[in-house]
Amino acid sequence: MPVTKAVIPAAGFGTRFLPATKSVPKEMLPVVDMPTIQYVVEECVESGITDILMVIGKGKHALEEHFYSSRELEKRLEDNEQFALLKKVRRISEMADIHFVWQKELNGLGDAVSHGRTFVGNDPFALLLGDTILKGSDSSQSILQQMLEIHDAKNASVVALEEVDRDRVSRYGIAGGTNITDNLLALDQIVEKPSAEEAPSNMAVAARYIFQPTIFEYLSKTPRGKNNEIQLTDAMAAMMKDHEMFGFRFTGRRYDIGNKLDFIKTNIELGLNHDDISGELKDYLRTLARKL
Ligand code: G1P
């Protein structure tokens, strides 16, 4: 059965990017001409997902507004014969069925994911973190699509992994396991934000997961962990003791827009690939580089 549902947690405060994120959700910060969350939704749609649940919290209403249709704006664009823009704006509310659920208290990623239980039911589902854009080096297939293929073949949960420097392992969930092929690992360990000494490897969990619905049973039994939050990684660690779980070492780039330096890098890199501005941006960067 194809995976058609996705959960996108987008409730976090965005403290790494204050004060920009005091009233603007980090997921709404623009990368070139689209908010980050729209890249994430586009990745879902490209991969065959038709129903999306966003887990939002206080101060996140802009996300709802972005995905609801705006009749007034559409009429204005129509009256002004701005048809190309009209098409882009209409697409946002038409590309998928997007639902929202409210996470009252920020009790961690595991708790946010639990809010998807009723929506997901007994189906496998994709989980995408709303502050991260992933671009595969193979432009014909999104990373999520590649993970869905693994899920289909193995009938087991899959998580995207990225190698990080040893001195940065404490920022991520870190997984360990046995190589099956160059890019596929059978996982037997996962630890949330370990110290360099505790880390089972330098393979970091990278914002994309495909889960069997069984994850909810493990989440419901997961006590508070790192930072006194309910950690998804703890539920995954318990689940992989009883069920196979795979790590997909993707080839491509991860753009985490939740901090200022990566946000700027993301805008430059995706700007260089954007037809409207790439030429001028390249010239500008060359001029700038000569002055540095
Ligand atoms: C979350 C997860 C972590 C993962 C990271 C990047 O951490 O808890 O396991 O490695 O996203 O996908 P956060 O960045 O929300 O602190």
Sequential pLDDT tens for the chain (292 residues): 799 999 999 988 888 889 988 889 999 999 999 999 999 999 999 999 999 999 999 888 999 999 988 899 999 999 999 999 999 999 898 889 999 999 988 899 999 999 999 999 999 999 999 999 999 987 789 999 999 999 999 999 999 999 999 999 999 999 999 999 999 999 999 999 999 999 999 999 999 999 999 999 999 999 999 999 999 999 999 999 999 999 999 999 999 998 889 999 999 999 999 999 999 999 999 999 999 8
CA dihedral of 200, 202, 206, 210, whole degrees rounded to 10? -40
**Residue 58: what pLDDT?**
86
Looking at ligand 1, which residue's alpha carbon is closest to its atom 8? 173
Task: Please list the residues that pair with 249 across neighbouring strands.
Answer: 161
Query: Taking the domains of the chain in order of start, what are their residue ranges?
Result: 5-258, 259-292
Spatial neighbors of 223 by CB under 8 A, at least 6 apart, are 230, 234
**Residue 232: what pLDDT?**
98
Looking at ligand 1, which residue's alpha carbon is closest to its atom 7? 172
Substitution site in 192, 205, 232, 257 for ligand 1 pocket (most atoms within 8 Å of beta carbon) = 205
| CATH code assigned to 5-258 | 3.90.550.10
Backbone phi and psi for residue 190, each to the nearest 5 degrees, phi listed first: -160, 135
**Residue 156: what pLDDT?**
97
- Index of the ligand 1 atom closest to the CA of residue 204: 10
**Tokens describing residue 239:** 């689940």
Q: How far is CA 211 from the centre of its chain?
A: 14
**Residue 170: what pLDDT?**
95
**Residue 62: what pLDDT?**
93
Half-sphere exposure of 270 (CA within 13 A, CB side): 23
Amino acid at 185: L
- Index of the ligand 1 atom closest to the CA of residue 192: 9
